[in-house]
Amino acid sequence: MTDGARTATRRGSRPEQVATHCPYCALQCGMVLSATGDGVEVGARDFPTNRGGLCQKGWTAADLLDHPDRLTTPLLRDRPGGELRLATWDEALDRVAAGVQDVQHRHGPDAVAVFGGGGLTNEKAYALGRFARVTLRTRHIDYNGRWCMSSAAAAGNRAFGIDRGLPFPLADLGRADTLLLVGANPAETMPPLMRHVTDLRERGGRLIVVDPRATATARQADLHLQPLPGTDLAVANALLHIALTEGWLDRAYVAERTTGFDEVRRTVAGYWPAEVERLSGVPVADLYATARALATVDRAVILTARGAEQHAKGVDTVTAFINLALALGLPGRPGSGYGCLTGQGNGQGGREHGQKADQLPGYRRIDDPAAREHVAGVWGVDPDALPGPGVPAYQLLDALGTPSGARALLVFGSNPVVSAPRAARVESRLRALDLLVVADFVRSETAELADVVLPVAQWAEEDGTMTNLEGRVLRRRALREPPAGVRTELEILAALAGRLTDGAPLPTDPREVFAELGRASAGGPADYAGITWDRIDADTGVFWPCPDRDGPDTPRLFADRFPTPDGRARFHAVTHRPAAEPVCADYPLHFTTGRVLAQYQSGAQTRRVAALRRAAPGGFVELHPDLAARLGVTEGAPVRVVSRRGELRAPARLSTAIRPDTVFAPFHWPGAQRANSVTNDALDPVSGMPEFKICAVRVEPA
């Protein structure tokens, strides 16, 4: 099976085997699905990102297709507090349309909100944005990717003039001499990526990891920097300070290709390594070794991920590492650069085409008059009829059911009851709504609160495109039809639009939607105008921007210039500031969250796969043995982690991988083990990113 394999889109004419991509992370590993007498069989294929490998989640992805928990009929709640019951599609859709019309009649268009997901295909993300702005006429739309990539996106935009997670192909990692991973644990979050790290190591290259925990990735590193959570920005400034004082800057690159360095020079002059060691706990010798490893080789790559970004100063933290990369002349140099490891499967494409509060398709700003005119022309509406920018995800959810917030919410591809910060408060806001509609394929924790639940197709039952962490647009191919009674999100949006407006119907054929997306994105930063399904099928995907069907795509950005008005990258001076919530006598420990290998995001999918549940059956609280001894806690004993917002209860796991002043819990589980009951909802002022990665807690035996 090759990448050029074609899948018939006409219902009832499906192949026995398709080449497609994993439904989980942004690596989007290539896989082959085969129809068998017993269901669907998964095989790996030699795609450039995964090179024939899959992780345990990928190998078991098909287990969900026929799971007993699979929803195949709409569910409806007749009265508040009542039970969800089976309903027909007409009954469910009529209820949604009537509820939306009632709320908007009483409270105005913005009283209805839409919340999307970073796992939706490009076609569905685009259609959702169009549905919100044209059909509902609401400014209130955002998505769970706000909690994934928004800080790196904002930093990339202000430094480079564009946001693409990796501005170079993933294979470049294997060609680097030094790779610095900051707040990233790909050995557990996207294991096939480590094949590229192995290439680097076999060539004699060095891996350096910055992480408060000795993760599976850090244990493979040549050097592990273990800072106090929330001090990564200071570490980055210290590395640039050392590069300055040692004469390791690429002065020609800084002079010819950047602007704003003088202010950064003055700022980092105050970040003496000894002072940063006191602040972060990273030894001076390790700071010097890291700076030397980056600055004195031919090719170096710096990558950030959630550990650096999920802070109330996440944009500034990423900016500090971009400053370091620019000062060393890395971006645009073959085999070198700065990038961000996107998390969700379509975290990149999902934020490019309109389900983010401040954006229109093509990564255009919604407050840009020219962008509004272009997109409105594609949609056949007056530009003045398009709503303005909405608010970021947490603000949207936090205001639900209040006089200033939305009274109805439509959720597609997300489970905020588990994934949102300060989750108990978000759950209470969802319960306060006049109408909650959830489209999902299982009864997630959010769906359990809904007034209407709409069953949707899964990844192996739909055609479309995804955009991976490299900016490579890929084809998702359907192997089979959805079960009887199940619809795609495109069909649901079209049916609702038909009930709510008399305008032109929304298309339901994903190929037709993608063609419209191309027209809407034309001329924007994320230009898909030259990308077609046929062109993707003929190769291993197409890298955006690709404005011309007969012209080349763009695997590598920044070779000659940056997409800024003067072609130069921008330095921005940034300073360290403490976490939004410092430790104190009542809450003396730092709390941080993350993932485990066998689970994914809110766990609504992976917790239902038997093999993954056996590998990771439940949550835990990781403590250093010295801390456990002081608390009188033993291995496996139940503990409470308490913050000012809530608590979680889970068994203790003693490990020297964690700092003695820090505790860790994964965020995949609901109920008493819900880590996000504890996390802080303090927000980055630029990106709206919550401070997931650090808050003050106390730990005690349960």
What pLDDT, in 10s, does the model give residues 371-395?
999 999 999 999 999 999 999 999 9
pLDDT in tens, 529-581: 999 999 999 999 999 999 999 999 999 999 999 999 999 999 999 999 999 99
Q: Which of 58, 52, 3 is nearest to 26 (CA)?
A: 58
pLDDT of residue 604: 96
> Left, alpha or beta for 64 (phi > 0: left; psi -120 to 50: alpha)?
alpha
Quickly name the fold that domain 589-701 has.
Answer: Barwin-like endoglucanases (2.40.40)
Question: What is the average pLDDT value for the chain, to the nearest integer?
Answer: 95
3-state DSSP call for residue 642?
strand
pLDDT of 504:
72
Cα–Cα dist 121/463, whole Å: 9
Q: Look at residue 5 and tell me whether its pLDDT is greater than 80.
A: no
13 pLDDT higher than 70: no
Please give the pLDDT value at position 38: 84
Cα–chain-centroid distance for residue 181?
17
The string of pLDDT tens digits covering residues 148-200 is 989 999 999 999 999 999 999 999 999 999 999 999 999 999 999 999 999 99
Nearby residues of 322 by Cβ (< 8 Å), 6 or more positions away: 155, 156, 159, 160, 338
The pLDDT value given to residue 3:
34
> Does the global pTM surpass 0.75?
yes
Q: Are the folds of 75-147+351-543 and 166-341 the same?
A: no
DSSP string covering 90-150: HHHHHHHHHHHHHHHHHH-GGGEEEEE-TTS-HHHHHHHHHIIIIII--S-EEEGGGGTTH
pLDDT given for residue 6 in this prediction: 28
- Output the CA–CA distances (angstroms, integers) from residue 126 to 335, 541, 544, in the order listed: 33, 19, 16
What is the number of residues in the chain? 702
The CATH class of 75-147+351-543 is alpha beta
- For domain 166-341, give the CATH number: 3.40.228.10
d(CA 178, CA 295) in angstroms, rounded, equals: 9
Return the DSSP state at 220: G
CA distances from 702 to 9, 423, 634, 637 (A): 54, 21, 12, 8
- CB-CB contact of 106 with 113 (8 Å): no
Contact present, 238 and 273 (Cβ < 8 Å):
yes
Helix (H) or strand (E) holding 268, with range, is helix 261-268
SS in 3 state form for 151-188? Answer: HHHHHHHHHHCCCCCCCCCHHHHHHCCEEEEECCCHHH
Confidence of residue 7 (pLDDT cuts 50, 70, 90): very low
Using one digit for the tens of pLDDT, what is the confidence trace for 46-90? 999 999 999 999 999 999 999 999 999 999 999 988 999 999 999
- The predicted pLDDT at position 2 comes to 34
Mean pLDDT of 36-45: 92
- Exposure class string for 644-659: b at 16+ Cβ within 10 A, else e: ebbbbbbbbbbbebbb
Residues 6+ apart with CB under 8 A from 129: 141, 353, 354, 355, 359, 360, 361
> What does the domain layout of the chain look like in residue ranges?
75-147+351-543, 166-341, 589-701
**Does the pLDDT at position 650 exceed 50?**
yes
pLDDT at 631 over 70: yes
Distance CA 526, CA 122 (A): 12
Q: What digits encode the pLDDT tens for the residues 396-443?
A: 999 999 999 999 999 999 999 999 999 999 999 999 999 999 999 999
**Tens digit of pLDDT for each residue in 96-116?**
999 999 999 999 999 999 999
What is the separation of C-alpha 443 from the centre of its chain, rounded to a whole number of angstroms?
Answer: 22
pLDDT digits (tens, 9 = 90+) for 286-337: 999 999 999 999 999 999 999 999 999 999 999 999 999 999 999 999 999 9
